[in-house]
Amino acid sequence: MTCDACGGHTPRRGLCRECARMERAEEAARYGADPEWADCPECGGITSGEGIVCADCRKSGSEGP
């Protein structure tokens, strides 16, 4: 499959990880990030709390056991 934004190879439908992160960052800048949301320690994406690994990183297995 290819990314809808950049055309790069991705195993996912829609956007690749980099484009998805960029889209989330643009939305946060446009609408204002919720101050209660923290950044993922692995990739810097939005999480539900400080020190929590985001769903993308958990799915990819980058979180330790």
* 39 pLDDT more than 60: yes
Domain boundaries, the chain: 1-33, 34-65
Coil, strand or helix: which one is 47?
strand
Residue 25 in contact with residue 19, Cβ under 8 Å?
no
The pLDDT of 49-62, averaged and rounded, is: 78
Taking the C-alpha atoms of residue 59 and residue 65, their distance in angstroms, rounded to an integer, is 13
CB 54 within 8 A of CB 46: yes
The structure's pTM equals: 0.48
Cα Rg of the chain (Å, integer): 13
Q: What average pLDDT does the segment 16-44 reach?
A: 78
CA distance 56 to 58: 6
